[in-house]
Amino acid sequence: MINLAIASGKGGTGKTTVAVNLALALEQENIQLLDCDVEEPNAHLFLKPDFDYKADIGIPVPTINLAKCSFCGRCAEVCAFNALAVFQDQVMVLAELCHGCGSCTYLCPEKAITEFERPIGVIESGTVHGIDFAHGRLNPGEAMSPPLISAVRKLGNPGSITIIDASPGTSCPVVTAVNGCDFCLLVTEPTPFGLNDLALAFQMVSKLGIPAGVIINRCDIGDDGVENYCGEKNLPVLQKIPWDIELARLYARGEPAVLHLPAWRSRFRDLYKRILELRKGAVR
């Protein structure tokens, strides 16, 4: 069993391409792909699964029983997110600001607060090409994605090779997606933007204590800053993918390279072998 995260810092470097093709290359194994980029999930566009499970995910937000409420203001005082405002004979709940921590419910001296789940998105799962696939979709207009990302990760099978496709960046949604994983692939491109964001992503996984390796996508554009950086940091470069019009066209149409260009199947299987070797090395 291994939890393998795919992250990048910079967007559009090829995370989803790597996640989908790696999963397809390992389809004979007990393989699972969790698309944890719930703001802009894309892996399903390439795998086209039939979903047989769907669930609404929400955040528990307070509702006030005014018959019990004494308007003492304690709930507003303890709320760190300014989601409650108490007036003389009214309590306002600003549900979009609520993080669902439960402080107000527990600390209300009149026990006047109960909670209901305010939906923020859905999770869906299904099987395709022998891959156990799941993703989340945040409702547009919703700000808080981490609770939905956690819900997708809860669908992880113990005993599987679980590939986790994260969103771009280095802040809370990415941390929620990669925290606790056994290894993180950082997908980048050899440009100044790619380098800057790779360094941020590497600092993030280092802070979380996750071993990492790098994939350089479109490796023949740009400059050699990324390779020099990886050399300095002893960060293994596990794969280089050249810019290729055929790959770009397949990607544009939503066709995974592994299903059309057989050479990529063995390249991604080799990538997985190298990750396992690196993990063994790390454990030793």
Partner 1 sequence: MKKMTIISGKGGTGKTSLVGCFAALAEQRAVLVDGDVDAANLSLITGPTLVEEYEFRASKVAEIDRDSCNSCGLCRDLCRFSAIYEDYIVDPVSCEGCGFCFYACPHDAVRMEERLSGRWFISQTPYGILVHARLGIAEENSGKLVTTIRNKGQELAEAGHKEYLIIDGPPGIGCPVIASLSGVDSALIVTEPTVSGIHDLERVLTVCKHFGVKAAVCINRFDLGKVQSAAIERYCHKEEIAVAGKISFDRAFVEAMVRGMPVVEYSTGPLSRQIGEVWDTFSSLC
Q: Which residues bind partner 1 (CB under 8 A)?
A: 8-13, 16, 37, 39-40, 42, 45-46, 78, 80-81, 99-103, 106-107, 138, 140-145, 167-175, 179, 191-193, 196-197, 200, 203-204, 207-208, 221-223, 245, 248-249, 251-254
> Closest separation between CB of residue 281 and partner 1, Å?
25
Can you tell me whether residue 250 is helix, strand or coil? helix
> Closest separation between CB of residue 167 and partner 1, Å?
6
Give φ, ψ of 216 to 5 degrees.
-100, 110
Q: Give the DSSP letter of residue 30.
A: S
Residue 271, amino acid: L
CB nearer to partner 1: pick between 173 and 213: 173
CB nearer to partner 1: pick between 253 and 280: 253
CB nearer to partner 1: pick between 145 and 162: 145
From the number of C-beta atoms within 10 Å of its C-beta (0-12, 13-18, 19+), residue 42 rates as middle
CB nearer to partner 1: pick between 136 and 161: 136
Q: What residues contact residue 171 under an 8 Å CB cut-off, 6+ apart?
A: none
DSSP states of 86-104: E-SS-EEE-GGG-----HH
CB nearer to partner 1: pick between 60 and 236: 60
Under 8 Å between Cβ of 213 and 237 = yes
> Closest separation between CB of residue 227 and partner 1, Å?
14
> Closest separation between CB of residue 178 and partner 1, Å?
10
The Cα–Cα gap between 10 and 167 comes to 9
